Chain A
Amino acid sequence: MNLKNKTQGVHPPPPPAEENDSNISLGKCYPPSAIAPPQVRGAYSSRSILYLILIVFSCVAFCAEQISYFHPPEHFPKPVYDFSNNTLTKEKVALGRALFYDPILSSDNTISCASCHSPYNAFAHTDHDLSHGINDEMGTRNAPPLFNLAWQKTFMWDGAINHLDMQALAPISHPKEMNESLKNVVDKLQHKKIYPSLFYQAFQDSIITGEHILKALSQFQLTLVSATSKYDEVQKGLAEFSPQEKNGYSLFQKNCNSCHSEPLFSNQAFANNGLSVDTTLNDFGKWMVTKQSGDSLKFKIPTLRNLNFTHPYMHDGRFRKLNQVLHHYTKGISQSPTLALELTNSIELTSNEKTDLIAFLLTLNDKKFIFDQKHQFPRELLK
Chain B
Amino acid sequence: MKICSLFALLLFPIISFAQQTNEIIEFKLSINHHPIKVGKKYLTHAQSDSIHIDAIRFYISNVQFFQEEEFVFSLEKKHHLVDLDNPESLKINLEKNKSLDFNKIKFDLGIDSLTNVSGAFGGDLDPTNGMYWTWQSGYINFKLEGVSPSCPARKNFFQFHLGGYQAPFANVQAVELDIFDKKNIIIELPIDQFLEKINIPETYEIMSPNQPAVDMAKLIASLFYISK
Task: Select B210's contact among A9, A166, A183, A291, beta carbons within 8 Å.
Answer: A291
Residues of chain B within 8 A (CB-CB) of A9 are: 123
Taking CB atoms, residues of chain A closer than 8 Å to B126 are 4, 209-211
Q: Which segment, of A54-62, A170-178, A307-315, A344-352, faces chain B?
A: A170-178
Interface-located stretch among A157-165, A272-280, A327-335: A157-165
Is the CB of B13 closer than 8 A to any CB of chain A? Answer: no
Per-position contact with B for A177-217: 1 when CB-CB < 8 Å, else 0? 00001110010000000000000000000000111101100
Q: Does A53 sit within 8 A of B, measured CB to CB?
A: no
Give the residues in chain A near B116, CB-CB below 8 Å.
Answer: 162
Contact A82-B119, Cβ < 8 Å, known A5-B86, A161-B136, A291-B210: yes
- B169-188 Cβ-contact flags toward A at 8 Å (1 or 0): 00000000000000000000
Give the CA-CA distance A170 to B116 in the complex, in Å. Answer: 16
Report if B99 contacts A (CB, 8 A). no
In the bound complex, do residue B127 and residue A160 qualify as a contact, i.e. CB atoms below 8 Å apart?
no
Q: With CB as the reference atom, state the residue of chain A lying closest to B127.
A: A210
Task: Identify which of A86, A164, A289 gathers the most chain B CB atoms within 10 Å of its CB.
Answer: A289
Q: Chain A residue with minimal CB distance to B123?
A: A8
- Contact residues in A for B123 (Cβ distance below 8 Å): 8-9
A46, CB-defined interface residue at 8 Å: no
Select from chain B the residue with minimum beta-carbon distance to A164. Answer: B119
What are the residues of chain A within 8 A of B134 when measuring CB–CB? 169-170, 172-174, 182
B129 at the interface (CB under 8 A from A): yes
B-facing residues in A225-258 (Cβ within 8 Å) = none
Interchain CB contact under 8 A, A210 and B128: yes
CA distance A169 to B131 in the complex (A): 12
Residues of A within 8 A of B132 (CB): 166, 169
- Given A211-B121, A291-B210: A161 and B128 interface contact (C-beta under 8 Å): no
Contact partner, B117, options A163, A173, A212, Cβ 8 Å:
A163
Inter-chain contacts of B135 with A (CB < 8 A): 160, 170, 173-174
Nearest Cβ on chain A to B118's Cβ, whole angstroms: 7
**Range of interface residues on A (Cβ < 8 Å):** 20 to 34
Contact of B122 among A169, A183, A209, A218 (CB under 8 A): A209
Contacts of A160 in B (CB 8 A): 135-137
Contact A210 B120 (CB under 8 A): yes
B130 within 8 A of A: yes
Inter-chain contact A169/B119, CB cutoff 8 Å? no
Please indicate the chain B residues that have their CB under 8 angstroms from the CB of A173 in the complex: 134-135
CB of A85 closer than 8 Å to a CB of B:
yes
Considering only residues 32-80 of chain B, those with a C-beta below 8 Å from chain A are: none
Name the residue on B nearest A155 (C-beta). B137
Chain B residue nearest to A156 (CB atoms) is B136
Q: Contacts A211-B120, A289-B136 known; A166 to B129 CB distance under 8 Å?
A: no
Query: What is the distance, in angstroms, from B55's C-beta to the closest C-beta of chain A?
Result: 14
Task: Verify A166–B120 contact, CB threshold 8 A.
Answer: yes
A174 contacts across to B, CB distance below 8 A: 134-135
> A163 to B118, Cβ gap below 8 A?
yes
A183-B130 contact in complex given A170-B135, A174-B135, A291-B210, C-beta closer than 8 Å: yes
- Known A170-B134, A174-B135; contact A163-B128, beta-carbon cutoff 8 A: no
Distance in angstroms from B57 CB to nearest chain A CB is: 13
B137 and A182 form a contact (CB under 8 A): no
A299 to chain B, nearest CB (A): 15
Q: Which of B87-127 contact A (CB under 8 A)?
A: 88, 116-127
User: Within the assembled complex, what's the spacing in Å between the Cα atoms of A174 and B134?
Assistant: 8
| CB proximity of B197 to chain A, nearest CB, Å | 25
Question: Please, how many angstroms separate the alpha-carbon atoms of A209 and B129 in the complex?
Answer: 10
> How distant is A103 from chain B, measured CB to nearest CB, in Å?
19
Task: Give residues 137-166 of B contacting A (CB, 8 Å).
Answer: 137-138, 166
Q: Which residues of B contact A166 (CB under 8 A)?
A: 119-120, 127, 132, 137
Q: Is the CB of A85 within 8 A of B118?
A: yes
Give Cα distance in the complex from A171 to B121, angstroms. Answer: 19
> What residues of chain A lie closer than 8 Å to B125, measured between beta carbons?
211
A380 to chain B, nearest CB (A): 26
Of the candidates A162, A174, A215, the one having the most CB atoms from chain B within 10 angstroms of its own CB is A162
User: Smallest CB–CB gap between B89 and chain A, Å?
Assistant: 9
B59 to chain A, nearest CB (A): 15
The residues of A that contact B88 with a CB separation of less than 8 Å are 5
Does A163 contact B137, Cβ atoms closer than 8 Å?
yes
Which positions in A face B, CB cutoff 8 Å? Answer: 4-5, 8-9, 82, 85-86, 160-166, 169-170, 172-174, 181-183, 186, 209-212, 214-215, 218, 289-291
9 contacts between A and B (CB under 8 A): A162-B117, A162-B137, A163-B117, A166-B120, A169-B134, A186-B128, A210-B128, A211-B126, A218-B120
The 8 A-B residue pairs with the shortest CB-CB distance, nearest first, are A165-B119, A173-B134, A210-B128, A211-B122, A165-B120, A162-B137, A214-B120, A183-B128
Question: Which B residues have a C-beta under 8 Å from some C-beta of A?
Answer: 86, 88, 116-130, 132, 134-138, 166, 210
5 new A-B pairs (CB below 8 Å) besides A165-B119, A210-B122, A291-B210?
Answer: A8-B123, A163-B120, A166-B127, A181-B128, A289-B136
